[in-house]
Structure formats: structure tokens, C-alpha cells
Amino acid sequence: MSILIAEYDPGWPGWAAGVAEELFAALPGVFTRIEHVGSTSVPGLAAKPVIDLMAGVTSLDEAGVALGERLPALSFQVFDTGMPGRLFYFRERDGVRVCHLHVVPESTFATRNEVLLRDLLRRTPEDVARYGALKRELAVVHDGDSLGYTRGKTALIQELVDRARAEAGLERVDVWEE
């Protein structure tokens, strides 16, 4: 399947907010917060048109039970990423992924690489341009190879995350270990 990189859509934040509202309404008291992360959360950044949300919870174990019971009714499916300290769900429309939900302990929310990268990109337009150009190039080079596409982005993502973590006074974390 081809890798689609779309120009930034100013409707993405509204779409993300709508999904967050839907989740808060369906699971009252489960989430401490839900924020739009990922490339679609960065104004001007070309992206795969998939909304990424990060949700904080007090306890992954307790939230996991409620999420397992209620998210399927909202068309979210669980997916085991193998990443510790996180629950991951996705939603598809007509067989195409349209939304990812990353559920993490609230105690780690502010130091998550996704949050730090989003915030760095929102304040550094030159990095937005670099990252967008790389994604467009990789989508052509790795057409149909999502793993190759992802691996191709890793060095730049690590560079940006390292900078964001250093600016926040945090130690380095490999982008695929968190």
C-alpha cells in the first residue's frame, strides 16, 4: 500500500479535538488529559493523514480494563506495540487507519518523546521544513514499505528528540525504547 503524505490540513486539530471529546464522553473519569500529538498536530507539517492522540491515565492497569470494555464500541482496536508503559489503540475507516490513541501514565506524559517533539516542531519552522521534506522523499523511495519509511525517519527524529530532551533538562532516550 502506498504511503500517502498530505500537505498540512488546518482541519486536523478540530478532528483531533472531536475524537478527544468523544473519548472523554464515553469514558468519564478515565483520562486525565488527551492531547493531539504527531505530525498532524504541527501547523504546516506534511503528514500521513492519521490523527495521533496521547491520553494520560492515573493507572494503566485500571484504565486498561475500562478501555478494553468500551473502546471497541467506538471502533478502536487494541494493538500490542511491545512498548512498555503504554497502551495503543487504532481506529480505521473503510480499512484505512485514521486515528491512533497512545495511552500513558499521567506521571510520564510531559516527558514523552511525542510531546517533546511536537512542542519543539511547533516553535522551529526550519525543522518542520526539514522533516516534511524528508517524509515526502521517503514516501517515494519506500513506496509501499512502511517499515523502510519509518526507519528512514529515525535519525532525524532522534536528533530532534535529543535536542528537545536536552532543552528540557532530560536525559537522552532512544526514540524506539520509550
Q: How many domains does the chain have?
A: 1
CA distances from 166 to 115, 144, 159 (A): 14, 35, 11
User: Does residue 3 lie within any of the structural domains?
Assistant: no
Residue 175 forms part of a structural domain: no
User: What CATH number did the domain enclosing 55 receive?
Assistant: 3.30.460.10
Residue 135 lies in a domain: yes
Residues of the domain holding 56: 12-167
Helix (H) or strand (E) holding 64: helix 60-70
Q: What pLDDT, on a 0 to 100 scale, did the predictor assign at position 84? A: 85
Q: In what order do the strands lie in the sheet with 31-37?
A: 31-37, 51-57, 96-105, 87-93, 76-78
Model confidence pLDDT, tens digit, residues 65-91 = 999 999 999 999 999 988 889 999 999
- 66 in a structural domain: yes
Burial 146-178 (b: 16+ CB within 10 A, else e): eeebeebbeeebbebbbebbeeeeeeebebeeb
**Predicted pLDDT at 2:** 83
Is 7 part of any domain? no
Per-residue pLDDT band for 154 (boundaries 50, 70, 90) equals very high
Q: What is the pLDDT of residue 176?
A: 78
